[in-house]
């Protein structure tokens, strides 16, 4: 997971710097605007939450926040909807599965194969 949030931070800084220098590509400006307040989609949320202090937030942090809210938040909502659990306190480790042996080893969350094996044994032994 480390590369994606770091990329969000780096790209946010990059585009904010390009905007400051007036070097954004025309297609980017046409689609998203030429000011960070226009092209950072979470800027309005941050303005409402922090008032005038939002201007003190580094653009890299805004990129990271956007990554967490959009990517991670959406993924978590999809996971919860799939599990038919619509409140955060209802979801637990049993609703998760590791995709790799390494992830299972580190997290203690069984792989999909292990979960399927346990499920099949339960069906066959009943």
Q: What backbone phi and psi angles, to 5 degrees, belong to 121?
A: -60, -40
- 112 and 59 in a common domain: no
- 71 and 13 in a common domain: yes
Decide: residue 35, CB within 10 A, 0-12 exposed, 13-18 middle, 19+ buried. middle
pLDDT in tens, 38-53: 999 889 999 999 999 9
| Number of domains composing the chain | 2
Provide the angle, in degrees to the nearest 10, between the axes of the packed helices 59-67 and 3-21: 140
Is 71 domain-assigned?
yes
What would the two tokens of residue 112 be? 């999909």
- 36 and 81 in a common domain: yes
pLDDT at residue 9 in the model: 95
- Name the residue range of residue 7's domain: 3-86
- 81 and 100 in a common domain: no
- 80 and 48 in a common domain: yes
- 124 and 101 in a common domain: yes
Is 91 domain-assigned?
no
Q: Residue 69 in contact with residue 44, Cβ under 8 Å?
A: no
- In degrees, rounded to 5, the angle at the alpha carbon of residue 79 between the alpha carbons of residues 73 and 83 is 145
Q: Kindly report the number of other CB atoms within 10 A of residue 66's CB atom.
A: 19
Q: Rounded to two decimals, what is the model's pTM?
A: 0.67
pLDDT in tens, 92-111: 888 888 899 999 999 999 99
- 101 and 77 in a common domain: no
Give the residue with greater pLDDT, 77 vs 2.
Answer: 77
The C-alpha atoms of residue 27 and residue 56 are separated, in whole angstroms, by: 28
- 101 and 46 in a common domain: no
pLDDT in tens, 51-89: 999 889 999 999 999 998 888 888 889 989 988 998 889
Residue whose C-alpha is closest to residue 98's, from 106, 114, 110: 110
């Amino acid at each position: 997971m480390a590369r994606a949030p770091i990329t969000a931070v780096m790209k946010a800084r990059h585009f904010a710097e390009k905007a400051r220098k007036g070097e954004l590509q025309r297609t980017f400006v046409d689609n998203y605007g030429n000011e960070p307040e226009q092209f950072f989609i979470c800027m309005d949320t941050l303005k409402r939450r922090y008032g005038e202090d939002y201007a003190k937030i580094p653009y890299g942090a805004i990129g990271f926040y956007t990554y967490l809210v959009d990517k991670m938040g959406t993924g978590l909502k999809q996971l919860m909807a799939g599990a038919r659990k619509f409140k955060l306190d209802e979801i637990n480790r049993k609703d998760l599965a590791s995709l790799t042996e390494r992830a299972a080893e580190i997290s203690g969350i069984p792989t999909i194969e292990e979960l399927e094996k346990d499920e099949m044994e339960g069906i066959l032994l009943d």
